[in-house]
Amino acid sequence: MKSGFVKKVLAIALAVTMAASLSACGGKDPVVENGKSEVAAANGSEESGASTAGDASAESTGGSDSTFTYAINGDPGESVNVITSSSRWDLSTVKLIYSPLYMYNADGINYFLATEYSTDDNLTYTFKLRDDVKWSDGEPFTADDVVFTYTEMEKEENLGWAYSQLVYDEGTVKVEKVDDYTVSFTFPFETPTALEMLSQIFIMPEHIYKDVTDFEHNDYNMNSIGTGPYQVVEYVPGSYVKFKRNEYYFKGVPSIENVVFRIIENSDTALLAVQSGEVDAYQAIPSEVEKIDLEANNLKTYSYSEGRVGYLMINAKNVPDQKVRQAILYALNKDDMNKASYLSDEFYLTPYTFLPPTSGFYTEDVEKYEQNVDKSKELLKEAGVTDLTLKVGYTGTDNAQSAQALLVQEQLENVGIKVELDAADSTALSAQMKNPDNDYDLYFGGYIMGIDPDTFASLFESGAAYNYMFYDEPSIDKLFDEGRNEKDEAKRKEIYNKLQAAIQDIATFYPIVSNNKILVVNKRITGIEDAALVPVYTFEDASFLKIAE
């Protein structure tokens, strides 16, 4: 562990994310894909999906005049809660039930329970809270709830996903109640990432959870009391989660009475359901949308960026020779991979580093590994490698990864490398990836991180929680450390330019795509723009959704 901005990361079992190894330095925990405990992402899903849950559930979750039904490809599970939930659909559930102080996205700060912040020294950040908020049981929301939530997040024994954002080698972020509607956060050192690290943390009610010792397993998670626009009223594992509107919601009572997350893990089944009107919305990729007659089925699409990066990782423990890794990358053609899955660059950007191209710190002054078959063969010859066989893991039910995997097999065979494809279950793949002794040589995945480059440290520092490339590169660790301690923006950019180049040079990470999400929605659902489409949660505030009369 290094000094400066070093953070401690727990072994957290993520649900659409990959599970963590025991410790790492720096970085905000990612919403990453492949794994269901495993979030990040729900890009893995199992082949057998439930399109209905029997007669009773079909009646209670169908697309009625008072219900918005959203097809999701993963089960949030009964352990959904503010502290330990970290998958796409867990967090989407949390976002309906609870509210954060503020959201911090590419468009800046959007306030919810807080109204403003101030700082005089870049160490203590003081937030004013709304004084008109009630929990869905009618109890008042106060600063006590904020202090309680952040304090519980900072306890190592709670396995909280935000632990690594709030606890550092230099000390813990100190959370204090100033008065009933003012709270302060004091960092143990100055950092340019403070606002991001305090964001997207949803506040839970102290009067409900104050005696809970196991936040993942208790009687309150699916009998939720929150400040968000909806409350859970029914959950059938593997089938659906049903919500009713929160009459006390501080931004106004939602127009739509019920929201239903219908769990349909098979994409073909989900596409049929959205076309028939059985569900109102579904996240699709362009090659799936191409199969739909939108006009005939009264559907509309909304394309939006999540800052996601889809990648291919090389396991450096299994492929230790840098020249061999470089040979692998020079054999590949990411343009072909992207066109196969996303059809048109209208729906994606092509990244050349670990940062999404939309990042203000992104640079293309790096080795891009544009396809060069001759150079690939030359590097293999220099390394003295012949008859190389590689095992590639990917989530078999993810259409994009499946198409990419087939192209990787074809492209590597063109330089004499044999490829064994393993179309794995997302949970099994995640379990393998976190094991340093796994037998995969390469694996596909994706992540959605924060705005600041330091949030990516948990993926790329040596020994970091999500570094499934398993390399040990002190030079990369040094650049992360310099970046997080440098306050001058221009100098930070120079450091992160060097960092992006360094990660490309060791040839263990091959960024493929930064794709848009496409939400296919029945035209009877309106208010999509007002609800605001955002990374991970889909809607920043679902209370703005309406059903057309």
45-72 average pLDDT score: 54
pLDDT band at residue 224 under the 50/70/90 scheme = confident
User: d(Cα 327, Cα 256) in Å, to the nearest integer?
Assistant: 55
Question: Position 129: which residue type?
Answer: L
The tens digit of pLDDT for each residue in 470-511 reads: 999 999 999 998 998 888 999 999 999 999 999 999 999 999
206-227 average pLDDT score: 91
Domain count for the chain = 1
User: d(Cα 151, Cα 167) in Å, to the nearest integer?
Assistant: 11
- The string of DSSP codes covering 456-515 is GHHHHSTT-TT-TT----HHHHHHHHHHHH---HHHHHHHHHHHHHHHHHHT-EEEEEEE
Does a structural domain hold residue 403? Answer: yes
Enumerate residues 6+ apart whose C-beta is below 8 A from 337: 403, 404, 407, 408, 512, 513
Domain residue limits at 413 = 311-516
User: d(Cα 218, Cα 71) in Å, to the nearest integer?
Assistant: 26
| pLDDT at res. 105 | 79
52-70 average pLDDT score: 58
136-148 average pLDDT score: 98
292-319 average pLDDT score: 94
Higher pLDDT, 368 or 43: 368
Does a structural domain hold residue 496? Answer: yes
547 CB-side CA count, 13 A? 15
Enumerate residues 6+ apart whose C-beta is below 8 A from 457: 7, 24, 25, 26, 27, 464, 480, 484
CB 335 within 8 A of CB 418: no
CB 101 within 8 A of CB 198: yes
Does a structural domain hold residue 414? Answer: yes
Residue 527: pLDDT over 60: yes
Does a structural domain hold residue 37? Answer: no
User: d(Cα 246, Cα 227) in Å, to the nearest integer?
Assistant: 8
Residue 270: pLDDT over 90: yes
| pLDDT at res. 5 | 34
| pLDDT at res. 333 | 97
Residue 21: pLDDT over 70: no
The structure's pTM equals 0.79
Provide the CATH number for the domain around residue 446: 3.10.105.10
User: d(Cα 54, Cα 76) in Å, to the nearest integer?
Assistant: 19
How many whole angstroms from its chain centre is CA 230? 22
Does a structural domain hold residue 430? Answer: yes
Residue 20: pLDDT over 60: no
| pLDDT at res. 33 | 56
The tens digit of pLDDT for each residue in 407-463 reads: 999 999 999 999 999 998 877 888 889 899 999 999 999 888 878 898 898 899 998
User: d(Cα 261, Cα 193) in Å, to the nearest integer?
Assistant: 34
| pLDDT at res. 28 | 55
| pLDDT at res. 29 | 54
Does a structural domain hold residue 348? Answer: yes
For helices 489-506 and 474-485, what crossing angle results, to 10°? 160
Residue 8: pLDDT over 80: no
Enumerate residues 6+ apart whose C-beta is below 8 A from 511: 309, 310, 311, 334, 351, 352, 353, 354
DSSP state of 157: G
Does a structural domain hold residue 368? Answer: yes
Does a structural domain hold residue 276? Answer: no
Higher pLDDT, 14 or 342: 342
| pLDDT at res. 25 | 37
- The string of DSSP codes covering 419-466 is EEEEEE-HHHHHHHHT-TT-S-SEEEEEEE--SSGGGGHHHHSTT-TT
| pLDDT at res. 340 | 86
pLDDT band at residue 223 under the 50/70/90 scheme = confident
Instruction: Rounding to the nearest 10 degrees, give the CA dihedral for residues 264, 267, 271, 277.
Output: 0
2-10 average pLDDT score: 33
| pLDDT at res. 32 | 53
